[in-house]
């Protein structure tokens, strides 16, 4: 016997019993985004490697250690499985002229890929919903995105999420802070771990985001970017906070919140939970006003966020939020040649009436078919034998709810109306 082939570590199958939760989440998210006027954009999974080197940052962990990059064997082009969605969205907007004298509110969803150590809530293939707004320079859109997420938690029934805020300022302010931060870290180089030493001159801001307990006190006393902010950056951040206060959105200021991507400026935020262990962040984003120009477009203000679908579904399960099962309305049980033909026709009529119908296939006794009907989660079993087929009737048995077990004889031509009223 040939050896079975296993899936790739950290790239998981979503099985049928899990699929209903994903469909429920997708449906809630689509309605939520439509309510705020966002339009969907779909971009390829495979992009040119330079897009992320230039966009995400050459010295980020994503580019240095986590990208699935490869060479196209046919033409030698350097390609990558997308590690995040913003750069691809910006590339598409520039390429197709979507930002020329116009604003855009866009969203996308799909798989992303990073070569990380797999653990609960962190996978090598993971799925995100990303939301981006282009052409808005004030803090009102930043605030709207945060309020949007608070609204989504309410729609999903999630509780206890914490919002953290920071401002990264503009490029000159970050440069001044970077210089002061490098000088500070050089004085503490003896206690830096390997990651800290590696990032000291390439990405010193990320040293402050360390999870190493031994470095927490050092990071706490490092120069704070807030002390380097200019008037415009402060006004933007103060405006954001005022709008969140007005909306009743609580938050915590975190001057060590820097995000892992180089393109952010001014406001950044994260929504976190203490229910998922180390994988605390479920949604995060901020402003990235320089990225469009950096990738070859004309200067354009931009702000956005992404949220991890696996983590949010895991959080829904952890908090015991009820999510509907993917169950049919009707399971058609039939036995006999005439009954099978009748059942086949009725299944089409019921589906045309908007009902979800499973037509039993493969034969078997009524007893075995009823076992499958019960296992399907259907609300009703519709039972047809040759006698019912000849009489133009069916037996309808309720399988769920307080009235489970009740049966009625119903005319075939009235079945759709009967089930629609009883559902």
Ordered alpha helix ranges (H), 104-230: 139-156, 171-186, 194-199, 216-220
CA distance 58 to 56: 7
Q: Exposed, middle or buried, 64 (CB in 10 Å: 0-12/13-18/19+)?
A: middle
* Pair (123, 236) in one structural domain: yes
Q: Taking a C-beta distance cutoff of 8 angstroms, is the pair 88, 51 a contact?
A: yes
pLDDT value of position 350: 94
Q: Where are the beta strands (DSSP E) in 263-403?
A: 265-272, 281-287, 302-308, 330-335, 357-359, 380-385, 393-398
Give the torsion sign (CA, 229, 226, 166, 204): positive
pLDDT value of position 63: 80
pLDDT tens, position by position, 358-393: 999 988 899 999 999 999 989 999 999 999 999 999
pLDDT value of position 299: 94
CA nearest neighbour of 185 among 196, 171, 169: 196
Q: Report how far Cα 213 is from the mean position of its chain's Cα atoms.
A: 30
* Pair (334, 314) in one structural domain: no
Whether 278 is in a domain gets the answer yes
Whether 200 is in a domain gets the answer no
Model confidence at 59, in pLDDT bands (50, 70, 90)? low
Whether 104 is in a domain gets the answer yes
Provide the edge-to-edge strand list for the sheet that holds 302-308: 39-40, 104-113, 125-134, 302-308, 281-287, 265-272, 162-167, 252-253
Percent of the chain with pLDDT strictly greater than 70: 99
* Pair (143, 252) in one structural domain: yes
User: Which range (23-37, 206-220, 327-341) has the least confidence?
Assistant: 206-220
* Pair (160, 83) in one structural domain: yes
* Pair (127, 266) in one structural domain: yes
* Pair (342, 400) in one structural domain: yes
* Of the residues 269, 298, 318, the one at which a domain ends: 318
pLDDT value of position 358: 95
CA distance 267 to 121: 26
* Pair (284, 346) in one structural domain: no
Question: What average pLDDT is seen over the chain?
Answer: 90
CATH number for position 151: 3.30.930.10
CA nearest neighbour of 334 among 407, 375, 395: 395
CA distance 195 to 178: 17
* Pair (305, 335) in one structural domain: no
* Pair (151, 296) in one structural domain: yes
pLDDT at 155 over 70: yes
* Of the residues 275, 294, 318, the one at which a domain ends: 318
Looking at per-residue confidence, does 195 or 291 come out higher?
291
pLDDT mean over 27-56: 94
pLDDT tens, position by position, 194-230: 888 888 888 887 787 777 887 888 888 888 888 889 9
Structural domains counted in the chain: 2
pLDDT value of position 260: 62
User: What domain range is 364 assigned to?
Assistant: 330-422
Model confidence at 401, in pLDDT bands (50, 70, 90)? confident
CA distance 257 to 267: 10
pLDDT at 252 over 90: yes
Whether 25 is in a domain gets the answer yes
pLDDT value of position 178: 86
Whether 196 is in a domain gets the answer no
pLDDT at 346 over 90: yes
Beta bridge partners of 398: 380
pLDDT value of position 422: 73
Beta bridge partners of 380: 330, 398
pLDDT at 238 over 90: yes
Whether 324 is in a domain gets the answer no
Whether 222 is in a domain gets the answer no
CATH number for position 365: 3.40.50.800
pLDDT at 102 over 90: yes
pLDDT at 235 over 80: yes
CA distance 229 to 234: 6
* Pair (306, 357) in one structural domain: no
Q: Taking a C-beta distance cutoff of 8 angstroms, is the pair 66, 182 a contact?
A: no
* Of the residues 256, 283, 318, the one at which a domain ends: 318
The whole-model pTM stands at 0.86
pLDDT value of position 300: 95
pLDDT value of position 246: 96
Model confidence at 423, in pLDDT bands (50, 70, 90)? low
Which range in 226-230, 249-253, 407-411 is most confidently predicted, on average pLDDT?
249-253
Q: What distances in angstroms separate CA 37 from CA 144, 238, 309, one per listed residue? A: 12, 26, 21
* Pair (165, 78) in one structural domain: yes
DSSP state of 119: B
Q: Which residues of 95-123 are buried (b: 16+ CB within 10 A; e: fewer)?
A: eeebbeeeebbbbbbbebbbebebeebbb
pLDDT mean over 229-236: 93
Percent of the chain with pLDDT strictly greater than 90: 63
pLDDT mean over 112-138: 92
* Pair (306, 406) in one structural domain: no
Whether 360 is in a domain gets the answer yes
pLDDT at 297 over 80: yes
Which pair of structure tokens corresponds to residue 396?
Answer: 């309808």
């Amino acid at each position: 016997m040939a050896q079975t082939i296993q899936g790739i570590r950290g790239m998981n199958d979503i099985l049928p019993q899990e699929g209903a939760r994903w469909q429920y989440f997708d449906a809630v998210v689509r309605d939520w985004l439509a309510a705020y006027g966002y339009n969907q954009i779909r971009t390829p999974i495979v992009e040119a490697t330079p897009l992320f080197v230039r966009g995400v940052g050459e010295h980020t962990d994503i580019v240095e250690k986590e990208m699935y990059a490869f060479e196209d064997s046919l033409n030698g082009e350097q390609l990558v499985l997308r590690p995040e969605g913003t750069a691809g969205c910006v590339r598409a907007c520039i390429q197709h002229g979507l930002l020329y004298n116009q604003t855009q509110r866009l969203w996308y969803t799909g798989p992303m890929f990073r070569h990380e150590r797999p653990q609960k809530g962190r996978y090598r293939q993971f799925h995100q919903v990303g939301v981006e707004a282009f052409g808005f320079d004030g803090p009102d859109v930043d605030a709207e995105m945060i309020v949007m997420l608070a609204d989504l938690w309410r729609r999903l029934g999630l509780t206890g999420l914490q919002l953290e805020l920071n401002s990264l300022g503009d490029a000159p302010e970050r440069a001044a802070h970077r210089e002061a931060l490098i000088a500070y870290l050089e004085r503490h180089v003896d206690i830096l771990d390997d990651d800290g030493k590696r990032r000291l001159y390439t990405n010193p801001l990320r040293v402050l985001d360390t999870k190493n307990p031994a470095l927490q006190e050092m990071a706490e006393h490092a120069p704070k970017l807030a002390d380097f902010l200019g008037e415009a950056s402060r006004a933007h951040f103060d405006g954001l906070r005022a709008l969140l206060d007005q909306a009743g959105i609580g938050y915590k200021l975190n001057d060590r919140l820097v995000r892992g991507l180089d393109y952010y400026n001014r406001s950044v935020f994260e929504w976190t939970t203490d229910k998922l262990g180390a994988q605390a962040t479920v949604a995060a984003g901020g402003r990235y006003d320089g990225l469009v120009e950096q990738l070859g477009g004309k200067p354009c203000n931009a702000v956005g966020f992404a949220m991890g679908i696996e983590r949010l579904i895991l959080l829904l399960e952890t908090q015991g939020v009820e999510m509907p099962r993917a169950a049919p309305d009707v399971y058609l049980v039939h036995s006999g040649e005439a009954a099978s033909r009748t059942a086949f026709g009725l299944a089409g009529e019921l589906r045309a009436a908007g009902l979800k119908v499973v037509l039993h296939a493969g034969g078997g006794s009524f007893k075995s078919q009823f076992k499958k009907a019960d296992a399907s989660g259907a609300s009703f079993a519709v039972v047809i034998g040759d006698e019912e087929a000849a009489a133009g009737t069916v037996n309808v048995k309720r399988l769920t709810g307080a009235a489970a077990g009740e049966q009625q004889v119903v005319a075939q031509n009235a079945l759709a109306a009967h089930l629609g009223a009883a559902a």
